[in-house]
Amino acid sequence: MAGPLAGYRVLDLSRILAGPWLAQLLSDLGAEVWKIERPGTGDDTRQWGPPFLRKDGGIDTTESAYFLSANRGKHSICVDISTDEGSAIVRALAQQADLVIENYKVGDMARYGLDYEALKRVKPDIIYCSITGYGQTGPMKDVAGYDMAIQAIGGLMSITGESDDKPGGGPQKVGVPIVDILTGMYSAAGVISALLHRERTGEGQHIDMALLDVQVAVLANQNLNFLTTGTPPKRFGNAHPNIVPYQVFRTSDGSFVLAVGNDQQFRKFCAATGLSGLATDSRFVTNTDRLKNRDQLIPLLDAHLIQQTTQHWISILEPVGVPCAPINRLDQVFAHPQVIHREMQVNLPHSSGTTAPLVANPIKFSGTKIEYAKGPPRRGEDTANILKSILKYDSAAIQDLSERRIIDIGRPEVG
């Protein structure tokens, strides 16, 4: 069975991560994605390396690992939208598309006649998703927004990292560009909802997505910790502001995560680890008690848990239903039996002649199974084919546009 979005066409004018992450997700779900790139250079992230994809013999291709992470399944079309002919090509493609994604600065697309109002005139039911740092309105709408800056201004770094009074204390960013990724995922919910709305009403619409809005939204319990008390949350390092014990503990050979989520789990933890007395200690009976007396409980657990190995504690806590986990490196993650069973790594042919190792989409459908038909594209590799098959350009016209550098039809890879 085809993917749930089979038959839909996406015109992707975005680059870097938030927009491409959205477009890759839509491609995984079956949509046909036309990725518009700048002739000569393409998406900025193509050069964000090393590391680069490697051929047999260890020779680097021109594709960065970063680019590969967010662009599988797409068709790369290189068009210079700053030219009249180039922008006309993209408008013509928009007439054949269901959805347009862009993450240019506010107002930039209007310069090329590719903004929502312009495209709505030629495709009244178009769904148009704009992704920016701070949104299409407001005092910061013209400010460029990158993930780390948004993590800072949006509060995430104020609650991430070890507390200031401990060694290494201070604000930390998350280890991946989490705001970009979450913006892509929220945007997916937005555009799919807009498609459903269009099915019912025939109406398209403009979706205004801001990284800052997403960052504020996903602070979840920490937002409400502040809004219900008026006190800004502080950094707890690997500990939890609302649950105890819920943090990293050292063992005799490393560390592990203990995530006790309720009082019953705490009693099971105490019984399994030989700390039964703590379960009835009036300071620690309920989570409220443990939060109040965190500074008394944690040293007791530290002193006990460091006496045995990580595997020892995992082996006795997992069977009794106490949430815990080792802290794995990525080599251990991809070698883990559960990750292997869930088929979270996929390998797709790459047009450079090698194979691209990729990470699978985590959605598991019972019927509309996700299939990966195309690896991440080389720059411009689909330009000629899309212009011929969708816009009915002949070979002579395509060659002329290529020679005048309006389009880029891709070139053999060097090396």
CA angle 116, 122, 126 (to 5 degrees): 50
Structure tokens belonging to residue 394? 């002949």
188's tokens = 């997916």
Out of 28, 98, 115, 180, which one is annotated catalytic?
180
Residue-by-residue DSSP string for 194-254 = HHHHHHHH---EEEEEEHHHHHHHTTHHHHHHHHTTS------TTS-SS-SSEEEEEETTE
> Residue 247: beta bridge partners?
258
DSSP three-state, residue 382: coil
- Annotated catalytic residue 394: no
CA dist 253 → 25, 298, 306, 314, 326 (Å)? 39, 19, 8, 13, 11
What tokens does 253 get? 């050979």
Establish whether the linkage from the previous residue to 51 is cis, with ω within 30° of 0. yes
User: In this structure, are residues 129 and 101 in contact, taking their beta carbons and an 8 Å threshold?
Assistant: yes
Tell me which DSSP letter residue 155 carries: T
Helix (H, G, I), strand (E, B) or coil at 13: strand
Cα–Cα dist 341/219, whole Å = 32
What residues are labeled active site? 180
